[in-house]
Structure 1
Amino acid sequence: MRTLLYILSFAALIGLGFWAYQENYKTKQVADEAERLQMEIGQARARLAVLRAEWAYLNRPDRLRELAELNFVPLGLLPLGPEQFGKANQVDYPASQSLPELELNNPVDVSTLAAEEAAE
């Protein structure tokens, strides 16, 4: 009986060792993948910083003004006038949902309000 117990214990030990070995390699693989992704993120952020700097350089007001003056006639541009701007009352704002009127003197049960909103 002891021999069987020793054999089963040894087999369980080998099985657990094999499982631990596989988990170790899976963990290393995931850690390497995470490190690679972090490097890619860093490179993408560096590229984004360069692109933002280039965009800021190309959109300098003095450069844009010079380009507009050079290409004013060929592009058929019109001088900027105040009638080209809209007014605030022309903006279509989304409709706001009104909140229920609450009386400050009477305490309100929050669960009742939630039930009423759920029913609607």
Structure 2
Amino acid sequence: MRSLTYLGCVLVVMGLAFWAYRENYATQAAMGEMSQVQREIAGLREELGVLRAEWAYLNRPDRLSQLVDLNFERLQLVPVERGQVLGVGQIDYPKPPTPADPLTDPNASDTAPSEETQP
């Protein structure tokens, strides 16, 4: 009976050792993948910084004004003046239609009129 207990303990220890071995390599693989993803993120951030710098370089006001001067006749661009720009408060938005109340309006019906019946 003692030999079966020793054999069982040895098998349990071997099983746990095998499990720990697999977990160790799985953890190392996950850490390697994580470091690869971090390197990729760093590369993408660097590329984004370069793209932002290029965008800022290409959108310089003096460069854009030179392009406007070169292509004035073809594009027919005119300079923006102070009176051409409006604030949001100055825009006249249409008011949404108010639904008819059947209690106060005797001509209102329960159903909405279709587009064919409207004048």
The two structures share one fold, judged by TM-score above 0.5: yes
Higher helix proportion: 1
Within 5 Å, which residues of 2 pair with 1:34-53?
Answer: 34-53=34-53
Q: SS at the partner of 2:20?
A: helix
CA deviation vs aligned residue, 1:73-107 (integer Å, no higher than 9, x gap) = 11011232223201241369xxxxxxxxxxxxxxx
Question: 1:5, 1:91 → 2: CA distance?
Answer: 88
Task: Report the TM-score when normalising by structure 2.
Answer: 0.71
Task: Report the TM-score when normalising by structure 1.
Answer: 0.71
Q: SS at the partner of 2:80?
A: coil
Question: 1:61, 1:87 → 2: CA distance?
Answer: 23
| Percent of residue pairs identical | 49
**2:31 match:** 31
**2:13 match:** 13
* One-letter identity of the residue aligned with 2:70: L
Within 5 Å, which residues of 2 pair with 1:81-92?
Answer: 81-90=81-90
- Alignment gaps of 5+ in structure 2: 93-119
**Higher-RCO chain (CA-CA 8 Å, sequence separation at least 6):** 2
Between Structure 1 and Structure 2, whose CA radius of gyration is higher? 2
Equivalent residues, number = 92
CA deviation vs aligned residue, 1:38-58 (integer Å, no higher than 9, x gap) = 110111011111111111111
**2:22 match:** 22
**1:66 match:** 66
* One-letter identity of the residue aligned with 1:77: L
- C-alpha RMSD of matched pairs (Å): 1.6
Residues 26 and 91 from structure 1, CA distance in 2 versus in 1: closer, same or farther, beyond 3 angstroms?
Answer: farther
Residues 35 and 91 from structure 1, CA distance in 2 versus in 1: closer, same or farther, beyond 3 angstroms?
Answer: farther
Residues 91 and 30 from structure 1, CA distance in 2 versus in 1: closer, same or farther, beyond 3 angstroms?
Answer: farther
* One-letter identity of the residue aligned with 2:25: Y
